[in-house]
Amino acid sequence: MNAAATGLPPREQRRATLWALGFAFAVYLASWLVLRQPPQWLSTAGGVPQWPIAFDLLLTVPAVYWWLHRRDRRRAWVGALALAGTGVWVASQLLPDTSDPVWSVLRLLRNLGLGLVVLLEVGIILSMLRLVLRLAQDRNPDYALRDGVQQRLGTSLAARVMAFDLRMWLHVFARNRRQWDYVGDAHFSYHRKDGNASNQQAFLFLLAIDLPVAHFVVTLLASATVAWIITLLTLLSLALMFAHYRATLRCPISLTRETLYLRYGLAVAETAIPLDLIACAEACKDEPRRSAPTVLRLNEAGEPNVRISLLQPVVIAGWFGIERQVDKLCLGLDQPREFLAELNARLAMREPAACLPVHRAAFDTEQ
């Protein structure tokens, strides 16, 4: 299989994108500086000519992006066209005269391109939601959403961010008594640990009570526009916290004979960790260093009570779909002794399971 078909490895892809965006920013900045304070020799020659700047903005920057991503043709063309459209907007802001018919046509093409992209994205989202609704009739809606996003959008960062956003609204609007089936034959909760879910509930209540008061105060001190912007952002934060609260009650950490299924509200997407990758599991007796980059701390109240060390790092998608490599897990569970006993017993067995029973997790408001 050739490189154009397989695309760039993730690390090379990030490096190429950073180089391309850095070059674009340098060109934009240099163009702004030259137009704002032109060199003396250009001033005496009649001013800065527009065509070299327009050439760089519309062709050089997109061409560099395309060349850096040439092994992934789809990404190369999409990114190059996006930068060309950005170049039209930057040129219209920088250059003193962009009123001729050529620039009018370029601006029209840019607007048509943006409209087409928006229509395509809306179509993708609607088709994905239809797939989710169809699959969710007899399956866990969480799994249906994950499979729908992967089938329609793949596993890129944009797809993971969209999956996180859709999962948030799924937990906000899903029915309270809907049963959710999660893979595993032993399941462990974390919402009662040091009043985890109760604390979330209280914070949500206080934030909701404070919302109209804050809106009124900001309106008096600033303006109605600022107040509505802050209120909208607060409402989105409330939706995120409410979804995390409900996912905390619904999504257990589960075990099979060969796999640990890591879940923790919205803080992580479900991650299957083979038991063969676990070096040891023990009671967590000291607070992990929060700044340690390879330590994942999943605990919201009190101190973690379970530590799991891995033989090699695993990639886990956290908040907003952002991935990180982790080689140690620090968990706060309701039943740490039972979890450690079950996990260590399965680590000693290491036998493959014939089938994977599921856990029927109904929405339970008992704290």
In a domain, 108, yes or no: no
pLDDT tens digit sequence for 272-281: 999 999 998 9
Tens-place pLDDT, residues 208-247: 888 888 888 888 888 888 888 888 888 889 989 999 999 9
39 with 148, same domain? Answer: no
Residue 110 lies in a domain: no
29 lies in a domain? yes
For 308-332, what is each residue's pLDDT tens digit? 999 999 999 889 888 888 989 999 9
Which DSSP state fits 258?
S
- Does 64 lie in the same domain as 89? yes
pLDDT at 149: 80
**pLDDT tens per residue across span 106-143:** 677 777 777 776 776 677 667 666 666 665 565 688 88
* Residue 77, domain member (yes or no): yes
Confidence band, pLDDT 50/70/90 cuts, at residue 260: very high
In a domain, 235, yes or no: yes
129 in the same domain as 80: no
Number of domains in the chain: 3
* Cα 240 to Cα 143, 200, 233, 237, 264, distances in angstroms: 19, 12, 11, 5, 14
Please indicate, yes or no, whether residues 225 and 264 belong to a single structural domain of this protein.
yes
Mean pLDDT for all residues in the chain: 79
pLDDT the model gives residue 96: 67
Angle of CA points 26, 30, 36, to nearest 5°: 150
224 and 264 both lie in a single domain:
yes
Q: Does 168 lie in the same domain as 186?
A: no
The secondary element (H helix, E strand) that includes residue 77 is helix 73-94
Same domain for 286 and 161: no
Q: What crossing angle do the helices spanning 101-135 and 157-173 adopt, rounded to 10°? A: 50
Same domain, 47 and 130: no
Is pLDDT larger for residue 343 or for residue 149?
343
Q: Is residue 20 part of a domain?
A: yes
Give the range of the structural domain holding residue 317, as residue numbers without chain letter. 175-367
Is the residue at 113 inside a domain? no
**Domain check: are 165 and 257 in the same one?**
no
Give pTM, 2 decimals. Answer: 0.67
Residue 103 lies in a domain: no
Same domain assignment for residues 315 and 191: yes
The angle subtended at Cα 322 by Cα 320 and Cα 326, nearest 5°, is 130
Domain boundary among 66, 98, 130: 98
Do 163 and 190 lie in a common domain?
Answer: no
What is the pLDDT, as a whole number, of residue 42?
56
CA pair distance 187, 180, nearest whole angstrom: 13
* One domain for residues 76 and 124: no
pLDDT of residue 55: 79
C-alpha–C-alpha distance, residues 248 and 188, integer Å: 11
